[in-house]
Amino acid sequence: MTVTGPLNLIIIVGSVRDHRFGPTVAEWFIGEAGRHPDFALDVVDLAETALPGVLLADHAAPGEVPGAVGELGRRLADADAFAIVTPEYNRSFPASLKTAIDWYVDEWQAKPVGFVSYGGVSGGLRAVEHLRQVFAELHTVTVRNTVSFHSCRDRFDDRGSPIDAAGCRAAAESLLDQLAWWARTLRDARAERPYAA
């Protein structure tokens, strides 16, 4: 069954640290994703999302779910694809991002996830490798291509644009094209037959 209409892409900004560099990277990527003809965008900045750090028990009643959790859950459920903008902290990804992932299960399933990472010498790629393992457990498809910024503060100009604009744009387009292919394929598949984890 073919589903028509734009693909809903949620871009998640994973860092909540004070003086973070994430918004610079995210704003650039949001601009690139906005140019892609297949996507309608929704942006979730975890610094502005009041998710509790203590998770509920598996048997918690629906009325016990905090409002912020329910609101974000509805947005994630409506998504056809996700793009995670993440730094690397101590060779992995931020705890804020793990908390946001762990609040949900079904909302992630049978959907593609792409990664935009930034950091020091590794460009956040070690964080991405850890995220691939986490999302595999949640039955998502992680796309192969990534966008990464090594020594990130040296890679952007004063206006928040990448110094290597052409190379970065090409990397973003490749990632977005892969996300779009998987998002459309999996959306059609979910419409034909609900995914059974």
CB of 108 within 8 A of CB of 101? Answer: yes
Q: How many CB atoms lie within 10 A of CB 175?
A: 23
Share of the chain above pLDDT 90, in %: 89
Give the model's confidence band at 59: pLDDT under 50 very low, under 70 low, under 90 confident, else very high: low
Nearest to 13 by CA among 53, 51, 43, 50: 43
The pLDDT value recorded for residue 61 is 67
Give the model's confidence band at 197: pLDDT under 50 very low, under 70 low, under 90 confident, else very high: confident
Q: Which pLDDT tens digit goes with each residue over 68-119?
A: 999 999 999 999 999 999 999 999 999 999 999 999 999 999 999 999 999 9
The pLDDT value recorded for residue 64 is 79
Q: Mean pLDDT across the stretch 172-196? A: 96
The pLDDT value recorded for residue 62 is 66
Q: Which pLDDT tens digit goes with each residue over 130-171?
A: 999 999 999 999 999 999 999 999 999 999 999 999 999 999
The pLDDT value recorded for residue 184 is 98
Q: Mean pLDDT across the stretch 1-27? A: 95
Give the model's confidence band at 55: pLDDT under 50 very low, under 70 low, under 90 confident, else very high: confident
| CATH ID of 7-53+65-191, from 3.30.110.70, 3.10.350.10, 3.40.50.360, 3.30.70.20 | 3.40.50.360
Q: Mean pLDDT across the stretch 51-72? A: 82
Give the model's confidence band at 65: pLDDT under 50 very low, under 70 low, under 90 confident, else very high: confident
**Dihedral sign, Cα of residue 148, residue 150, residue 153, residue 155:** negative
CA distances to 86, 89, 95, 146 from 130, rounded to whole Å, are 11, 12, 12, 14
Axis crossing angle, helix 165-192 with helix 22-35, rounded to the nearest 10: 70
The pLDDT value recorded for residue 156 is 98
Which residue type occupies 45?
D
Largest Cα–Cα separation, the chain = 50
Q: Which pLDDT tens digit goes with each residue over 114-133?
A: 999 999 999 999 999 999 99
Q: How many CB atoms lie within 10 A of CB 91?
A: 11
Whole-model pTM above 0.85? yes
